[in-house]
Amino acid sequence: MKLRRHTTPWALSAPAMLLFGCLLLVPLGLTAVLSFNVFDYTTGVKNEFTLAHYLAVLGDEYYYGIFWRTFWISGLTTLICLAVGAPEAYVLSRMGNPWRSIFLLVVLAPLLVSVVVRAFGWSMLLGPQGVVNHALQVLGLGPVRILYTEWAVVIALVHVMLPFMVIPVWTSLQKLDAGVENAALSLSASHFTTLRRIVLPQVLPGILSGSLIVFGLSASAFAIPGLLGGRRLKMVATVVYDEYLHELNWPLGAALALILLVANLLVMLSYNRVLEGRYKKSLG
């Protein structure tokens, strides 16, 4: 009886563990090893090891440019999502049903549509003959080149990432005791002060969580820069694709992919640290 109790959870988790071990941990390990392999343009991957790829990636100006572009696009996307998503979540939380549920669904449902479709939709809207340019021409402003610039990528990323900001902020708002806001107002606080000093501090964990998720996902985005950035505008993910499928320099691609992975993990997991530190004490 006692023995059974200790082995049962492992027995139940075994199939998933087997799958994840073979198709997650092993491949990542292989890729880590691959990133140190030597690559020869004529013969391919050789079984010798070198740090050359990491040195190239972390030392070459070309890659600096890629990293910088990826960083500022992700940062800008995060800021816009913050400026739009957090207020939107707040506005929605103050609506009554049925509108609240309907609008929430409209904002979140695009998550379930493939990113290819959404990216293509934006390429149509932002193209030289697209809806946006048509509208601008009607207003008398000349046609603007949006597609295949960083701005197209940012706009489409915001569209895809907005739900990831709305959800944690919405969840934080739901946890708020509705009476707290009223209590502040009854004590003669202005609406703005109530927002700033009562609502915002409690929603901050949600905002933080959303920001980190959006940043991490934007930095590793592939389909959107691929379809809206064009051949010249590369982000980390599209460079990895080039290395693997065009240059066939798998070790270099692997090095880039691992750097992306580590950066992502650091960003996503730093949330736990911050939350544990600052907020656990005051929020319980």
Partner 1 sequence: MSKNGPLALLFNALVISFMLAPLLIVCIVAFTPANTLTIPTTQFSLRWFKAVFAHPDFVTSFWNSLWLALSSATLATLIAIPAGLALTRFNFAGREALNALFLSPLIIPHLVLGVALLRLFSLIGATGSFFWLVLAHVVVITPYVLRLVVAASVGADRSCEQAALSLGASGATVFRRVTLPMILPGVTGGWLLAFINSFDEVTMSIFVTAPATVTLPVRMYMYATESIDPLMAAASALMVAFTAAVMLLLDRLYGLDKILVGEK
164 binds partner 1 (CB under 8 A): no
179 binds partner 1 (CB under 8 A): no
Among 57, 81, 154, 159, binds partner 1 (CB under 8 A): 159
Among 49, 141, 145, 174, binds partner 1 (CB under 8 A): 174
Cβ atoms of 273 and 212 within 8 Å: the answer is: no
Among 220, 229, 233, 234, binds partner 1 (CB under 8 A): 220
Rounded Cα distance, 248 and 240, in Å: 10
Select 43 or 114, whichever has its Cβ closest to partner 1: 114
Reduced to 3 states, what is the DSSP secondary structure of residue 45? Answer: strand
190 binds partner 1 (CB under 8 A): no
- Segment contacting partner 1 (CB under 8 A): 61-69, 203-211, 259-267, 275-283? 259-267
For CA atoms 246, 249, 254, 260, give the dihedral sign.
negative
Rounded Cα distance, 165 and 206, in Å: 8
Q: How far is CA 77 from CA 97, 159, 214, in A?
A: 30, 9, 8
Select 150 or 242, whichever has its Cβ closest to partner 1: 242
State the nearest-atom distance from the C-beta of 27 to partner 1, in Å.
4
157 binds partner 1 (CB under 8 A): no
Q: Which amino acid is at 102?
A: I
Q: By CB under 8 A, what part of segment 95-114 binds partner 1?
A: 95-96, 101, 103-114
184 binds partner 1 (CB under 8 A): no
Q: Which amino acid is at 101?
A: S
Select 108 or 144, whichever has its Cβ closest to partner 1: 108
149 binds partner 1 (CB under 8 A): no
Q: How many residues bind partner 1 (CB under 8 A)?
A: 88
State the nearest-atom distance from the C-beta of 114 to partner 1, in Å.
4
216 binds partner 1 (CB under 8 A): yes
Q: Which helix (H) or strand (E) holds 83?
A: helix 61-93
- The size of the chain, in residues, is 284
Residues 6+ apart with CB under 8 A from 63: 56, 57, 239, 256
Residue with structure tokens 């940012």? 154
Q: By CB under 8 A, what part of segment 40-79 binds partner 1?
A: none
Query: And the tokens for 201?
Result: 């501090």
